[in-house]
A and B are shown apart, each in its own frame.
Chain A
């Protein structure tokens, strides 16, 4: 990766990116929250969230993106998401069954409905988003170091 690219792409991209990143992030969150009433869900939403950060990184270079979301935070989010999902399962367990849907079903077709499903979606999206971004960063950084060596 040349120096130029470490700093990011051209001016046009840099100007546009702040708008689009925000929109993509919002769209990801929307997909996560509405997973139980419209198409989408934790996985798709999580990937979209990860992509928004990837986008930021491609446009501005790794320093800016990592400042917004340091690596420690990423791995913390990831593990937390995983634990959250497991603990949802375990709470249900204490209520009698593994993965018991223990919250009341609520009114149909509204945002707050469907028991544990939205919560699961949020946990998964945290996990997926952080995890995929971590993979991406790991691969990118590997390349940087390797090119330094040559």
Chain B
């Protein structure tokens, strides 16, 4: 278990570094580091599917973010008048943590989940779907409808990105603009 804790601390450190760094490039890179650590954590806590997905998604995010900031690492405007804002945020977070800690006590103990429904999956999954990867059998059979939604979200995002990068959005009145459909 000790390695899990080390990795978690690493993640938190990475996140703080990512937030506090002034340079955008370094910030993006340390976010990438957090993502990679996350995928290792997934591996340790026995979720190989997630580890694979996380690592590739992380790479893609990383590349896209790099694209966005490349050659744009302008100096920040260092206005320090955000002190008030910081206090409000810190207060909010403290409150949130307080409630969360109270709520954690009611959760089942770490490492011993209830697993009511999950046991059904574990017992009958193979017999009913024939897939030995239970995660696959859940996302594509028991809960395939969710996956349809998930695929649709990606589809929506693709169309959305294509929509946003259009050159000319609005036609001027009585003017024929050539449509730039790709």
Contact = CB atoms under 8 A, between A and B. Distances in A.
Nearest to B72: A143
B52 A39 contact: yes
Nearest to A72: B182
A40 B136 CA distance: 8
A36 B64 CA distance: 30
15 contacts: A36-B130, A37-B132, A44-B52, A44-B56, A50-B60, A108-B130, A114-B141, A115-B141, A117-B140, A124-B147, A124-B151, A127-B154, A127-B155, A138-B162, A139-B67
Given A51-B60, A139-B64, A36 B148 contact: no
A106 interface: yes
A49 B93 CA distance: 40
Contacts of A114: 129-131, 136-137, 141
A121 B136 CA distance: 9
Nearest to B56: A47
B151 A135 contact: no
Main SS class of interface, A = helix
B171 interface: no
A21 interface: no
Query: Size class of B's contact patch?
Result: 35 or more
A145 B166 CA distance: 11
Contacts of A127: 151, 154-155
A143 B67 contact: yes
Contacts of A60: none
Interface string B96-136: 00000000000000000000000000000010011111011
Nearest to A41: B136
Interface of A: 31, 35-44, 47-48, 50-51, 54, 71-72, 75, 78, 81-82, 85-86, 89, 98-99, 101, 105-106, 108-109, 113-117, 120-121, 124, 127-128, 131-132, 134-136, 138-143, 145
A108 B145 CA distance: 24
A42 B135 CA distance: 12
A105 B52 contact: no
Contacts of A142: 165
Contacts of A140: 67
B130 A115 contact: yes
